[in-house]
Chain A
Amino acid sequence: SQKIEQNSEALNIQEGKTATLTCNYTNYSPAYLQWYRQDPGRGPVFLLLIRENEKEKRKERLKVTFDTTLKQSLFHITASQPADSATYLCALDPIDTGRRALTFGSGTRLQVQP
């Protein structure tokens, strides 16, 4: 069955540094992969979507890469700020199959120290 893995350990970094989060998947060939942010007591909030033929996508301080050979996506936050502290979720997006059910990883908690 499909499996998606994110580093369950929290990532602690200093303000101003670049945070890099990893998402690995197996038994799946997604055409799309999504990243969400989740704050305590709230639902996930969509950040970025990347298609397999895009390799890299940017939005302001965010950058996502997608390597279908390694079956891995990397999520980068440059010039990180304490307000970036949250849990970040990656999700496999099956929309190219006609389905819409997202398969989420367990998330990585990011803590940015001032």
Chain B
Amino acid sequence: EAGVTQFPSHSVIEKGQTVTLRCDPISGHDNLYWYRRVMGKEIKFLLHFVKESKQDESGMPNNRFLAERTGGTYSTLKVQPAELEDSGVYFCASSLPTGLAGGYNEQFFGPGTRLTVL
């Protein structure tokens, strides 16, 4: 079974441009998460979808970030306009519905998208 996939693997853009990151979760995983790791820091939570609904947006840094999950399948994370401090690695993760996961919150991560804003 395919794992979580992310596209692109790398993106280099100029400050002020727009970038859209895509995440395809594991099939059947209702929960989808976005995290990011900026240089030298720990991985930090951005937001959590349950199917197409935003369950928790508490980690979104500002309104330049927009996440969507239309249809409850894949998700996109758009940064518009990008700033220098947005550079880092953006990870997507997915997990089973709570009822199917036996109460566990094991999250399956994708390989990440490395974003560089110049």
* Residues of A near any B CB (own CB < 8 A): 4, 32, 34, 36, 41-46, 49, 89, 93, 95, 99-107
Contacts and interface: CB of A to CB of B under 8 A. Distances in A.
A104 B43 contact: yes
Size band of the B side of the interface? 20 to 34
B56 interface: yes
A77 to B, nearest CB: 19
Contact of A41 (B55, B56, B108, B111): B111
B31 A100 contact: yes
Given A36-B109, A43-B4, A95-B103, 14 more contacts: A42-B111, A43-B112, A44-B109, A46-B107, A49-B106, A95-B104, A100-B33, A100-B105, A101-B33, A101-B59, A102-B35, A104-B35, A104-B43, A106-B42
20 contacts: A4-B42, A32-B105, A34-B105, A36-B109, A41-B111, A41-B112, A43-B111, A44-B43, A44-B91, A49-B106, A95-B105, A99-B48, A100-B33, A100-B55, A100-B95, A101-B33, A101-B48, A102-B105, A104-B42, A107-B42
B7 interface: no
B107 A102 contact: yes
Contacts of B103: 95
Contacts of A45: 109
B109 A101 contact: no
A101 B31 CA distance: 11
Given A100-B33, A100-B56, A93 B105 contact: yes
